A and B are shown apart, each in its own frame.
Chain A
């Protein structure tokens, strides 16, 4: 790689950090206001109690729980995909990984907020925490390790901690680059974040070894997180929930929605930050293929789940099934099938349509479809439990909808701020990729010149 290429990469990827336009401030202001509205609504809900929401007997898990599962699913975009691509040494991953890992970190933070929001009185959240000394534990009660909610606590925190470290470690060399190119307060801040990085062979080797080991550790953790989220449902004797397929079904759905979110984020980033040169059509093509695979897998799981329930014809399950297939929830169910399967199919299966626009259209459908899927897993089953006298309905009220809108704004705001203060593509990893590509091309040229290739 020539010095000019290396410098161009650095300049292009640092430009968004060093130059700020009015559009950034305008965007942050609008998003900030939306987040504030969401937070105020949460405060209103805390003050007045959960009665202001649509949660009521028999459906106590409505929008908040749907959003929790949805955001945890979106979080599977990043660290898991990045870790898998690192493990298989996919060279095209280099511009994609950090965009993806950032989605994981922020989606997990937002997702983990929803159980707190749903608690009604979040100041009692510490009752979930395992505090190991009776001296400090005035509750007289320890967490019940048989509870899926306690498993959630451990799984989400392990995944969040690992994902944040997985995101931060490869940023250290990039912080060193920014440190060397800035002055004043910025230099001090980035200098602190760079931890005194110099770039000795030992530091590079240890960093790459650590990333490799963490990739190995994070893949099973990511799979476990969504399996455990599925246990929140499948461990309960509720119609359509108590199913052995729920673990893999949730994991597949999470990866599906995660890739879709990543594709949308990449499409926006390349336009807004003018990094079209780095996030190229090939990245959308490859992720589009992966999205197509997950769409087929998702369809397979839905078919399996629905067919066995229908064929089993268990009296307590059929009402919940019928409600979604042809009853009151049927419009949502068939919209979900359209968004997750029918709409993406042509855009992802036909090579000519698998363009940036095509994959983004498919991804938008998938994100909407997967939110509906979470809603349809939770609400119809709770509304149609075993005994008919306990049936009911659920309609969200404005606080849930506003808090959900606020969470979307928070995600976009956090991502915007992140891409403003950190290079959204790893500079050093991109350079290594360029370097290796040039080496490979030189090797091919040399082999051709020597007549070894025909």
Chain B
């Protein structure tokens, strides 16, 4: 069997199912949770919260700033344009370009981190069910151990009336 999962109508029931699966000996990373909205009020919705995204955004900003500084100053030194007694490398006016590319660097780094850490674009996993889009919350286990299937099925049922499905 490739997977076993239950589709829950309420986050409360989904939370109970997750707790039961943990009681059955499964670790967090072995439990698949899919929902059509973020459910951060519940413990299961707060998994994998640690992220370096804001630091990576800072790094992106720093790279953007450095690139912009080099682009403007190297260009101005390589092709000097004399303008009304102003310095060749005009840092005050270059600040505008530097600011824009700094922010662009931060935005690109943020989006890159999102795509990389959320594994987008990616192939849908075997355990996906279109009912998730209709508001159901999917709690399941991929590649369960053969001997544990009946225990898992019982754990998924313990959260109340639920549709439990398997993927062979």
Query: Which residues of A are interface residues toward B (Cβ below 8 A)?
Result: 3, 6-7, 10, 130, 132, 141-146, 150-151, 154-155, 158, 161-162, 165, 169, 172-173, 176-177, 179-181, 195-210, 213-214, 217-218, 220-221, 224, 228, 428, 431-432, 435, 439
A207 touches B103 (CB 8 A): no
Chain A minimum-CB-distance residue to B35:
A199
From known contacts A198-B125, A206-B114, infer whether A214 and B107 are also in contact, taking CB-CB under 8 Å.
yes
Interface flag for B34 (CB, 8 Å): yes
Q: CB distance A196 to B103 under 8 Å?
A: no
**Residue B47 at the A interface, CB < 8 A?**
yes
In angstroms, how far is the closest chain A Cβ from the Cβ of B158? 21
Sample of 13 A–B contacts (CB below 8 Å):
A10-B134, A146-B81, A154-B96, A155-B100, A158-B107, A172-B120, A176-B133, A203-B120, A207-B114, A210-B114, A214-B107, A217-B110, A432-B37
Interface contact B33-A200, CB-CB below 8 Å: yes
- Report if B4 contacts A (CB, 8 A): no
A205 to B78, CA, bound (A): 46
User: How distant is the Cα of A207 from the Cα of B38 in the complex, in angstroms?
Assistant: 10
Compute how far the CA of A173 lies from the CA of B36 in the bound complex, rounded to whole angstroms.
Answer: 8
User: Which parts of B120-144 form the interface with A (CB within 8 Å)?
Assistant: 120-125, 128, 130, 132-135
Q: Does B32 contact A (CB under 8 A)?
A: yes
Given A162-B104, A214-B107, 4 more A-B residue pairs with CB atoms under 8 Å apart are: A146-B83, A151-B96, A201-B35, A207-B38
B127 shortest CB reach to chain A, Å: 9
Given contacts A150-B97, A199-B36, A217-B110, contact A206 B135 (CB under 8 A): no
Residues of B within 8 A of A165 (CB): 107, 111
Please, which residue of chain B has its CB at the minimum distance from the CB of A159?
B100
In the assembly, what is the distance between CA of A204 and CA of B115, in Å?
Answer: 12
Q: Known: A146-B90, A213-B54, A217-B110. Is A205-B40 also a contact (CB below 8 A)?
A: yes
Q: Which of B68-76, B149-157, B160-168 contacts A (4 or more CB under 8 A)?
A: B68-76
B103–chain A nearest beta-carbon distance, Å: 5
**Which of B75, B118, B133 is within 8 Å of A202, CB to CB?**
B118
- B133 contacts which chain A residues (CB < 8 A)? 10, 176-177, 179-181
Q: How far is the CA of A209 from the CA of B128 in the complex (A)?
A: 24
| Cβ distance A188 to chain B, nearest Cβ, rounded Å | 13
| B121-A196 in contact (CB<8A) | yes
* Residues on the B chain within 8 Å of A151, using CB: 93, 96-97, 100
Q: Is the CB of A204 within 8 A of B35?
A: yes
Within 8 Å by CB of B38, from A180, A197, A198, A204, lies A204
Decide if A6 touches B103 in the complex (CB within 8 Å): no
* Residues in B whose Cβ lies below 8 Å from that of A200: 32-34, 48, 118
Kindly state the separation between the CA atoms of A205 and B72 in the bound complex, as whole angstroms.
37
Using Cβ atoms and an 8 Å threshold, which residues of chain A touch B32? 200
Q: Which residues of chain B come closer than 8 Å to A158, judged between CB atoms? A: 100-101, 103-104, 107
Query: Which of the residues B51, B99, B120 comes within 8 Å of A197, measured between beta carbons?
Result: B120
Provide the residues of chain B in CB contact with A181, threshold 8 Å: 130, 133
What is the interface residue range for chain B against chain A? 35 or more
For B130, what are the chain A residues with a Cβ–Cβ distance below 8 Å?
180-181
Give bound CA distance, A181 to B36, whole Å: 13
Task: Report chain B residues within 8 Å CB of A198.
Answer: 34, 124-125, 128, 132
Q: Which residues of A contact B40 (CB under 8 A)?
A: 204-205
Give the contacting residue for A213; candidates B44, B57, B115, B135; CB below 8 A.
Answer: B57
Query: Cβ of B47: which chain A residues have Cβ within 8 Å of it?
Result: 201-202
Residues of A within 8 A of B37 (CB): 199, 204, 428, 431-432, 435
**Chain B residues whose C-beta falls within 8 Å of the C-beta of A210 in the assembled complex:** 53, 110-111, 113-114
Highest count of chain B CB atoms <10 Å: which of A169, A172, A213: A213
Cβ–Cβ < 8 Å partners of A207 in chain B: 38, 114, 118
Q: Which residue of A lies closest to B72 (CB)?
A: A145
Q: Is the CB of B71 within 8 A of A130?
A: yes
Q: Assess whether A439 is in contact with B41, with CB atoms less than 8 Å apart.
A: yes
How distant is A197 from chain B, measured CB to nearest CB, in Å?
A: 7
CB–CB A195/B114 < 8 A: no
B119 to chain A, nearest CB (A): 8
Within 8 A of A (CB), among B63-105: 71-72, 75-76, 78-79, 81, 83, 86, 90, 93-94, 96-97, 99-101, 103-104
* 8 Å CB contact of A201 from B33, B86, B103: B33
- Indicate if the CB atoms of A154 and B97 lie closer than 8 Å: yes
CB-CB < 8 A to A224: which residues of B? 96, 99-100
List, in ascending order, chain A residues with CB within 8 A of B101's CB. 154, 158
CA distance A200 to B128 in the complex (A): 10
Known A142-B79, A145-B97, A213-B110: A202·B117 in contact at CB below 8 Å:
yes
| In the bound complex, CA of A199 to CA of B110 (Å) | 19
Question: Please, which residues of chain B bring their CB within 8 A of the CB of A10?
Answer: 133-135
CB-based contact B103/A162 at 8 Å: yes
Q: Which of A130, A214, A435 contacts B110 (CB 8 A)?
A: A214
Least Cβ distance of A203 to chain B in Å?
Answer: 4
B106 interfacial by beta-carbon distance below 8 Å? yes
